[in-house]
C-alpha cells in the first residue's frame, strides 16, 4: 500500500515509525514531515491545511490510505474533501470533528447523551458572560468555543482572570472567530488522563490510557505547553475506571453522534478528569494526542495499518488491538524559552548514542535535517521514549537517553513519570 501521513510533529513521527513497520506499507509519504520523519518516509513539501493540494498529491501518487495528524485540517474538512474524491482517509468529517472544533457543540451533545461532564453556559455576548462569572465565582473555567491551538482554555483561580479571559476572546479577539463565543464551565478537581479509541462510527477499539504533563516546569509549574512528556499506562486508571470511561462517556457520545446523523470515524480522544464522584468528561479531541502517541504506539503489538484501514473502511469489528504489557515514558526535549520565544537552527548531537546505548526511541518534532546532521526547528524538538518492565526502568532509560542528547539551551522536565513511579 501507498500511505500518506499529514503533519510534522512528534505524533506524526510516531505514526510513521509504526506504519513503516507494517508489511502492508510499501511506500510512505509525510506532508510536510520533519528531519527525523525523513528517515522512514518521503517528506513532501505540502502544508497540512492545503487540502486541495494534498488531495491532488494523493490522486497523483495513487495513495491507498491517508492519515491526518493535526486537528486543523480535520476541522477544516480534509476528510470530506478526500472522500468526495473517492480517496480513503482516516479521520472524522468536519461535522464530526466539531467534537474538538466547538466546545459548545460538545457540551450540548454530550449533555443530550447523558455523559457525566460539567455545568456550563455558552455566551455570544461578553457582558452576559461577565455577569455569569461574577455570579458563579472562582475557580471557574473560560474556554474559547473554537479551536485555538490549545491556548483558548483558562482555568481561573480569581474572578479577574476569568473576566480577563472573556476580554481576550471576545474584545481583543486574540483567537479570531474561535473566541467570538465563549463557554464558561464549572471547575472540577481531580487527576486528568486521556483515553483514546479507534472508532468507525459503530465499533470502538480502545487504546491504552496515558497521561501527559502540560506545564513547562517541574511540579506542574509555569505556563501551559503542547506537552512536556507523558507515560502509559496510568496507575489511577484502574480497569474499573477505564470501563466506566468507555461505557459512560465514550460509547454514549459515539451513539449520540450516529443518531444525530454525524457518525464519528477516526481517533476519538477523551480528556477525562477523575473526580470523587467518578470520571467526568473535560473535552474531546478528534485526533491522536501529542505527545501521548509517542507512548501509546510503542506499546501497540498489532499492525497499526490494519487498524487504521479497518477504521476508515468501517469494518473495525474485524480487527483487534493487542498491547504490550510494558510501561512507557516519553520525555520532551524543548528549545530553551519555549513556550515563549526560542532560537532555531541549533546543532543537535548525541542522537545515535541515545538510540543505541539506551534502547530508546527518538521521535522528532521540531527538527530539520541537513545532510547527516539535524538542527532544531521548533519549540518541542524531540520526544525520547523508553519502555520498561516497571515505570522506574522506563523512566531511567528515557532520562539516560536524554543525557546523551545536546543542543544549545536544551530544556526538559526532570519529573516525567515520577507520579507513576510513586504509584507503582
Binding site residues, ligand GLY, CB under 6 A: 212, 227, 285, 289-290, 292
Sign of CA dihedral 36, 40, 44, 46: negative
For the bound state, the minimum distance from the C-beta of residue 226 to ligand GLY, rounded and expressed in Å, comes to: 7
For the bound state, the minimum distance from the C-beta of residue 268 to ligand GLY, rounded and expressed in Å, comes to: 13
Q: Considering only CA atoms, which of 238, 401, 404 is closest in space to residue 330?
A: 401
For the bound state, the minimum distance from the C-beta of residue 423 to ligand GLY, rounded and expressed in Å, comes to: 20
Q: Give 96 or 309: the residue with its C-beta nearer to ligand GLY.
A: 96
For the bound state, the minimum distance from the C-beta of residue 100 to ligand GLY, rounded and expressed in Å, comes to: 9
Q: Give 212 or 303: the residue with its C-beta nearer to ligand GLY.
A: 212
The torsion angle over the Cα atoms of residues 113, 235, 193 and 395, rounded to 10 degrees, is: -160
Q: Give 126 or 148: the residue with its C-beta nearer to ligand GLY.
A: 148
- In three-state secondary structure terms, 405 is coil
User: Is the distance from CB of 124 to CB of 181 less than 8 angstroms?
Assistant: yes
Preceding amide of 226 cis, omega within 30? no
The torsion angle over the Cα atoms of residues 153, 155, 159 and 160, rounded to 10 degrees, is: -60
Q: Give 17 or 123: the residue with its C-beta nearer to ligand GLY.
A: 17
Q: Give 269 or 374: the residue with its C-beta nearer to ligand GLY.
A: 269
For the bound state, the minimum distance from the C-beta of residue 279 to ligand GLY, rounded and expressed in Å, comes to: 18
Q: Give 285 or 335: the residue with its C-beta nearer to ligand GLY.
A: 285
Q: Give 66 or 285: the residue with its C-beta nearer to ligand GLY.
A: 285
What is the C-alpha to C-alpha distance for residues 32 and 242, in angstroms, rounded to an integer? 35
What is the C-alpha to C-alpha distance for residues 391 and 287, in angstroms, rounded to an integer? 26
Bridge-based pairing state of the strands 42-43 and 27-32: parallel
- In three-state secondary structure terms, 203 is coil
SS3 content of the chain, % helix, strand, coil (to 5): 35, 30, 35
For the bound state, the minimum distance from the C-beta of residue 282 to ligand GLY, rounded and expressed in Å, comes to: 11
What angle in degrees, to the nearest 10, is found between the helix axes of 103-112 and 251-259?
100
* Residue at shortest CB range from ligand GLY: 289
Q: Give 39 or 214: the residue with its C-beta nearer to ligand GLY.
A: 214
What is the C-alpha to C-alpha distance for residues 46 and 212, in angstroms, rounded to an integer? 29
For the bound state, the minimum distance from the C-beta of residue 259 to ligand GLY, rounded and expressed in Å, comes to: 27
For the bound state, the minimum distance from the C-beta of residue 376 to ligand GLY, rounded and expressed in Å, comes to: 21
In the numeric block, which cell numbers belong to residue 23?
A: 508489511
Amino acid at each position: 500500500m501507498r500511505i500518506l501521513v499529514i503533519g510534522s510533529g512528534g505524533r506524526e513521527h510516531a505514526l510513521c515509525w509504526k506504519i513503516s513497520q507494517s508489511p502492508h506499507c510499501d511506500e510512505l509519504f509525510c506532508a510536510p514531515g520533519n528531519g527525523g520523519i525523513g528517515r522512514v518516509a518521503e517528506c513532501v513539501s505540502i502544508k497540512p491545511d492545503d487540502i486541495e493540494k494534498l488531495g491532488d498529491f494523493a490522486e497523483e501518487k495513487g495513495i491507498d490510505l491517508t492519515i491526518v495528524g493535526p486537528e486543523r485540517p480535520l476541522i477544516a474538512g480534509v476528510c470530506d474533501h478526500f472522500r468526495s474524491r473517492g480517496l480513503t482517509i482516516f479521520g472524522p468529517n468536519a461535522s464530526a470533528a466539531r467534537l474538538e472544533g466547538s466546545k459548545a457543540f460538545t457540551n450540548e451533545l454530550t449533555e443530550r447523551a447523558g455523559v457525566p461532564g460539567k455545568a456550563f453556559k455558552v455566551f455570544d455576548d461578553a457582558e452576559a458572560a461577565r455577569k455569569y462569572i461574577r455570579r458563579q465565582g472562582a475557580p471557574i473555567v473560560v474556554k474559547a468555543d473554537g479551536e485555538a491551538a490549545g491556548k483558548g482554555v483558562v482555568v481561573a483561580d480569581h474572578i479577574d482572570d476569568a473576566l480577563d479571559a472573556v476580554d481576550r476572546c471576545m474584545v481583543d479577539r486574540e483567537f479570531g472567530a474561535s473566541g467570538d463565543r465563549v463557554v464558561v464551565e464549572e471547575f472540577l478537581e481531580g487527576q486528568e488522563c486521556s483515553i483514546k479509541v479507534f472508532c468507525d462510527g459503530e465499533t470502538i477499539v480502545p487504546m491504552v490510557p496515558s497521561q501527559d504533563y502540560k506545564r513547562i516546569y517541574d511540579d506542574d509549574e509555569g505556563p501551559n505547553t503542547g506537552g512536556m512528556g507523558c507515560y502509559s499506562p496510568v496507575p489511577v486508571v484502574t480497569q474499573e475506571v477505564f470501563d466506566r470511561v468507555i461505557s459512560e462517556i465514550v460509547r454514549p457520545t459515539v451513539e449520540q453522534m450516529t443518531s444525530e446523523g454525524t457518525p464519528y470515524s477516526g481517533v476519538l480522544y477523551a480528556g477525562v478528569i477523575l473526580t470523587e464522584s467518578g470520571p467526568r468528561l473535560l473535552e474531546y479531541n478528534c485526533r491522536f494526542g501529542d505527545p501521548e502517541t509517542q507512548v501509546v504506539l510503542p506499546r501497540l503489538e498489532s499492525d497499526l495499518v490494519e487498524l487504521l484501514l479497518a477504521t476508515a473502511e468501517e469494518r473495525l469489528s474485524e480487527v483487534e488491538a493487542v498491547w504490550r504489557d510494558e510501561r512507557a515514558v516519553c520525555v520532551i526535549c524543548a528549545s530553551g524559552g519555549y513556550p515563549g520565544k526560542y532560537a532555531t537552527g541549533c546543532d543537535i548531537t548525541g542522537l545515535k548514542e541515545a538510540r543505541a546505548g539506551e534502547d530508546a526511541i527518538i521521535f522528532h518534532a521540531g527538527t530539520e535535517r541537513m545532510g547527516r546532521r539535524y538542527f532544531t526547528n521548533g519549540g518541542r524538538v524531540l520526544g525520547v521514549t523508553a519502555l520498561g518492565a516497571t515505570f522506574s526502568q522506563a523512566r531511567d532509560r528515557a532520562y539516560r537517553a536524554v543525557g546523551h542528547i545536546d543542543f544549545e539551551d536544551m530544556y526538559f522536565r526532570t519529573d516525567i513519570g515520577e507520579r507513576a513511579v510513586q504509584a507503582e
